[in-house]
Amino acid sequence: MISVIAIDGPAGAGKSTVSRRLAQALDWQYVDTGAMYRVVGFIAVGAGVDFSDVDGLRKVCDNLDLRFEEEGDGVRTIANGRDVSHAIRSAEAGQLASKVSVVPIVRERLVALQRAMGEKRPTVMEGRDIGTVVFPDAQLKIFLRATVEERARRRCLDLEHRGEAADRAEIEAQIAERDARDSGRTHSPLRPAEDALIVDTTHEGIDEIVEKILTLAAQRQVT
Ligand code: DC
């Protein structure tokens, strides 16, 4: 099996930064599965497909031409020929993703796509269910977490960088709502795999966390 490092955890726990940095350090592929759910939610809404319309959502998934293009320190998301990198990062797109991700057909299609991506080259894959469902045999599974307050603080900073208004109390409520939906759903709820290493990022810097995971990967000869 090709090497996979699974990075799971709730919104704002630091998954994207940590995963991107790991992939860069190892020269591996980086796959952001949250972006995939965001794209499906965004495209479905744009096409007027209701989230209760299973056939409509199936078509959105089956017709999806999705590419991630690495660019400098970041990754561009190209969906059906259009650069949606910016559009899918809004707080609203996050809520749409959380809602569309409870639909079983969407999970089925995206999990298949994620497995196909991870089977091509060594991969750092981040999401909610990578260690539990997508790659239960991943060589290294990390579950990142942080307090809701700290995650809300990080989201506010992100939104401010994007030039969007950010109300801390509102963001905290949205994160709590998203956590409840992501953890409470029947299919692939957000939870650490039994063999995942749980890392709390509330007080630890990104550099330390990345170093810790790289050391673990080397010890387990994942690299
Ligand atoms: O990581 P993110 O904020 O971009 O994820 C957006 C939503 O997508 C999240 O609220 C739940 C869903 N998601 C999921 O259900 N499974 C994944 N592997 C990744 C994301």
pLDDT 10s digit of each residue in the chain, 223 long?
789 999 999 988 999 999 999 999 999 999 999 999 999 999 999 999 999 999 999 999 999 999 999 888 788 999 999 999 999 988 889 889 999 999 999 999 999 999 999 999 999 999 999 999 999 999 999 999 999 999 999 989 888 887 888 889 999 998 998 888 888 888 888 899 999 999 999 999 899 999 999 999 999 888 6
Residue located nearest, by CA, to atom 16 of ligand 1: 128
Residues with beta carbon inside 6 Å of ligand 1?
Answer: 11, 33-35, 37-38, 94, 97-98, 101, 127-129, 178, 182
Dump pLDDT digits (tens) for 122-163.
Answer: 999 999 999 999 999 999 999 999 999 999 999 898 888 878
How many structural domains is the chain composed of? 1
Of 137, 101, 148, 116, nearest to 222 by C-alpha is: 137
| Ligand 1 mutation pick, 33, 115, 174, max ligand atoms within 8 A of CB | 33
Beta strands 74-79 and 82-83 are antiparallel
Pairing of strands 123-127, 29-32: parallel
CATH code where residue 166 lies: 3.40.50.300
Distance 2 CA to ligand 1 centre (A): 24
Report H helices in the chain. 15-26, 33-46, 54-62, 91-100, 104-118, 148-161, 168-184, 206-219
pTM exceeds 0.85, yes or no: yes
State the closest ligand 1 atom to the C-alpha of 37, by its place in the atom list counted from 1: 8
* Token pair 């957000």 in the structure block, residue: 190
Q: Structural domain of residue 122, as residue ranges?
A: 4-219
8 CA: nearest ligand 1 atom? 18
**CA 138 from centroid of its chain's CA atoms:** 16
